[in-house]
Amino acid sequence: MLTRLGRYDEARSQAVLAQQLEPNFWLSTIASGRVLAAEGKLDEAIGVYQSAAERFDVPQIKADLALAYHAAHQHDELAKSLAAESLKTDPNLTSALTVLAEQALESREPAVAFEYTQRLIDQDALSVTGWLLHGDAALALHREALAKDAYLRAVKRFAETQQLGAPPMRLLEVQTALEQGKLPSVRYALADAVPDDRARPTAATPGAAVPHLDRAYPAPKPARSKCDCASGDLMCRMHCGPRGDPTGTSSPLPRLGF
């Protein structure tokens, strides 16, 4: 909860204390990793998860590590393998389902993605990420009515919960399209929008950096109290709206923050 509120110093202190009190409890071991992930320090979080995975054979650790790898665009094949392995023991791990759903979308396998996103929303009906990915899979399968319903649910839940973790550029694209009374482009278009003279790494390339792919992530950040929306910063626009109002009152875009 402290992490979701952006109170990282307190959360970090609690994580350290938990590890001191329960050094052999797996959840205490990864607590600091979750704080690091929440701060956007994915490389450091990955290090914590890797150390924990060496000590404990726990599905949740593998799933958290998989999502951190995925969000950081590192070792996609390993992320996929860890996610699949964790689901064999616990089929309801949302981190793992998110990784496999999004990688299936990137690999142009919408039917596979749809199966994972259905499980994701069945497990967590309030998940902005789940509904957003479900809409993407449905749209790629030409199920426009279902896609629209899923997108509307994602935007509604975002407004209600101010929940981060969903691919931010995609969420903004969906919001904008719905406000204009239409559906967004198929998600694949994001991956295809790469200059012809530039080699395009894929989700099947272990360790490849794919900066043009907008992905779900385990790093929620608090809403900004100050920003310069004139800069065109994406997160500023999502938080404050097109008029730069940090209260969110002058914009139809819901305010971000935990």
Helix ranges (DSSP H) in 162-253: 168-179, 188-192, 234-240
Angle at 153 (CA atoms; ends 234, 167), nearest 5 degrees:
30
Write the DSSP symbol of residue 252: S
Contact 55, 65 (CB under 8 A): no
Contact 36, 16 (CB under 8 A): no
DSSP string, 41-96: -HHHHHHHHHHHHHH---HHHHHHHHHHHHHTT--HHHHHHHHHHHHHH-TT-HHH
pLDDT by position in tens, the chain (length 258): 545 545 556 666 676 666 666 767 676 777 788 778 777 788 988 999 999 999 999 999 999 999 999 988 889 999 999 999 999 999 999 999 999 999 999 999 999 999 999 999 999 998 899 999 999 999 999 999 999 999 999 999 988 877 777 888 899 999 999 999 999 999 875 444 433 333 333 333 333 333 346 888 775 444 443 444 444 444 444 444 443 433 333 333 332 222
Residue 39 is predicted with a pLDDT of 75
pLDDT tens-place string over residues 45-81: 899 999 999 999 999 999 999 999 998 888 999 999 9
Distance CA 236, CA 217 (A): 18
The boundaries of every CATH 1.25.40.10 domain in the chain are 91-222
CATH superfamily entry for domain 91-222: Tetratricopeptide repeat domain (1.25.40.10)
Residue 11 is predicted with a pLDDT of 64
Q: How far apart are the first and last CA of the chain?
A: 9
The single-letter code of the amino acid at 8 is: Y
Residue 40 is predicted with a pLDDT of 78
Q: Count Cβ atoms below 10 Å from residue 155 Cβ, excluding itself.
A: 21
The single-letter code of the amino acid at 52 is: A
Q: Count Cβ atoms below 10 Å from residue 30 Cβ, excluding itself.
A: 26
Contact 199, 251 (CB under 8 A): no
